A = this chain, B = another copy of it.
Amino acid sequence: MTVLGTAETFKRDWLDGFVTAYGRTVRKVPDAYGVIGRQVPRRGKVAVVIGGGCGHYPAFAGLVGPGLADGAVVGDVFTSPSAEQVYRTARAAEGGAGVLFGYGNYQGDVLHFGLAARRLAAEGIDSRTVLVTDDIASGPAERAERRRGVAGDLLVFKIAGAAAERGDDLAGVHAAAIKANASTRTFGVAFGGCTLPGAAEPLFTVDDGAMELGLGIHGEPGVRTVGRLGARALADELVDGLLPELPAHDGRVVALLNGLGRTKYEEMFVAYTRVHERLAAAGLSPLHTEVGEFVTSLDMAGVSLTVMVLDDELAGLYAAPCDTPGYRSTGAVLDRVEPESTVDDYPADATRGGVVDRVLTAALESVEDNEEELGRLDAVAADGDHGLGISRGMRAAVVAARHAEAAGAGVPDALLRAGTALADAAGGASGALYGVLLAETGAGLRGLPEITAGALAGAVDRAAHAFVQLGGAEPGEKTMLDAIEPFRVTLRAEADAGSGLERAWRKAALAASTAAADTANLVPAKGRAARLAEKSKGHADPGATSFALIVTAVGEELGKDG
């Protein structure tokens, strides 16, 4: 969707904002849809002038600045700029040493930049051109010169900018840029279409559960539709597509994983692990890696992988620093880093040990059965991951208790281990609070000869106290505490009345369940909490519900002993 900006004036409006925001780096070309660097023109330096349609930010205007482009011409969305605009921008950028034009290989750009170049020539201004043709999906290798330019734009322009910055003449900058383009290949995939400003419908769509391999950055059709791949399989597709296309190399490369607009950064990183593994297996060592958004396609969902093979010259030029609104680099080189996983999974373990393992397993099953409902409750007022987080924490707790009990630990230590593992695995406020409940219950049972209803009531008193200290909640605020308190009070009363452990627990669990249901339906009278509750149709903190589920499941498990 496009929310801000209208089709008619989109180019002008965003360009105005861009120049306003990044006036420290760029300024506007008078009477043209173009920008040049603040210190441009620079006498005696080749001017690198790039451009194309807009909708690809930071390409192209966002790549103007020291060490990269001197100027950029801005066309309408997905439309080449006109010859007139190219001419004016180049005229403003050139400093007497000629102009290196760089743009993706699209017919409109070729026409307009070509016309502008002729006009410059007529005025005695020399220019040369690099057409970026990195997209291997857009044509066969035998006709590589017909391919279109996509994310490789950034790398080719970076090389041209660095060559111009170090003082190469026009022939030198041109030669470096041509070499960079010849060394660069990109293969991309789209998961979902983009929407043009002012358009009611997406420009194109990708079927749910499908991916379009090789789709262009203006919605040009892909080469192959496949079912939706996982990160690993997708990375394999991208690398398998690129490898046979790479020119001769000594292993040194730049790797660029480019997001097309809507794909989450974290998702790109998920795919990058496998990309790197595959590149390394093929003998390629990325000296520089970037994962981010560099040549976008409005709000398109998808990614592309670009590899540029380096020789000494390209390696030196790529490492030179640059400072533009959309891409800044200190040129630091990447040491070879092997992917490693952070923390081992808890191994699956079939041993079924003591009572803590059993009751926590029952609790886990209950939470898992209700994961979706807990998430739904949580989503109304918070971030919807309560069920997921508690399940994750409980699984870790079960494994920790199982290990502890298998190693001979008693109930107090098993609970302590389980609580620590839960807090660590679940994170979040509820992870910390559940962790404290378990650990403090365990601590309260330590040193006792037998676990009676009274002993448990005392331990729960202690745990509830620690809970309040840590969480800072007060009764009636519709938090987990509103289920813990009736649980605690009932357990104590039953113990005092001489009930057995199982009966006392089940009565207490019933009190917790009743209170949780009440809690979920109470609407505070006023204030922010009331507004939240109204939004949430009476449900507030899902913690009360999850607590009730857990103690109920534990009670049922204890009943099996009887």
Chain A residues with CB under 8 Å of chain B are 1-8, 10, 12-25, 27-28, 31-33, 53-55, 57-58, 62, 75-85, 106-108, 111-112, 115, 139, 191-192, 196-199, 203-204, 211, 218-221, 228, 230-231, 234, 255, 257, 261-273, 276, 288-293, 296, 298-299, 301, 303, 323, 325-326, 328-330, 332-343, 375, 379, 381-385, 388-389, 392, 420, 423-433, 470-471, 528, 531-532, 535
Q: How many copies does the complex hold?
A: 2
User: Nearest Cβ in chain B — how far from A348, in angstroms?
Assistant: 14
5 more A-B residue pairs beyond the given contacts A4-B231, A7-B388, with a C-beta to C-beta distance below 8 A: A4-B267, A13-B269, A57-B264, A139-B528, A265-B293
In the bound complex, what is the Cα–Cα distance between A189 and B216 (angstroms)? 31
Q: Which residue of B lies closest to A290 (CB)?
A: B21
A82 B423 Cβ-Cβ under 8 A: yes
A423 B328 Cβ-Cβ under 8 A: no
Residues of the B chain whose Cβ atoms lie less than 8 Å from the Cβ of A8: 392
In the bound complex, what is the Cα–Cα distance between A424 and B341 (angstroms)? 55
User: Nearest Cβ in chain B — how far from A435, in angstroms?
Assistant: 8
Residues of the B chain whose Cβ atoms lie less than 8 Å from the Cβ of A108: 427-432
Residues of the B chain whose Cβ atoms lie less than 8 Å from the Cβ of A340: 16, 28
Question: Among the listed B12, B53, B82, B220, which residue makes an inter-chain contact with A342, where contact means beta carbons less than 8 Å apart?
Answer: B12
Q: Which residue of B lies closest to A223 (CB)?
A: B531
A532 B3 Cβ-Cβ under 8 A: no
User: Nearest Cβ in chain B — how far from A269, in angstroms?
Assistant: 3
Q: Given A270-B4, A432-B83, decide whether A262 and B262 contact each other with a Cβ distance below 8 A.
A: yes
List the 7 closest A-B pairs by CB distance, nearest first: A23-B337, A17-B269, A108-B429, A17-B272, A57-B265, A5-B270, A14-B269
22 contacting pairs across A/B (C-beta < 8 A)? A1-B301, A4-B231, A4-B268, A5-B267, A6-B230, A14-B269, A17-B271, A20-B337, A24-B335, A25-B332, A53-B427, A53-B428, A79-B389, A80-B427, A82-B427, A106-B429, A107-B429, A111-B471, A197-B266, A203-B383, A265-B293, A291-B325
Residues of the B chain whose Cβ atoms lie less than 8 Å from the Cβ of A17: 268-273, 276, 291, 339
Q: Which residue of B lies closest to A266 (CB)?
A: B14
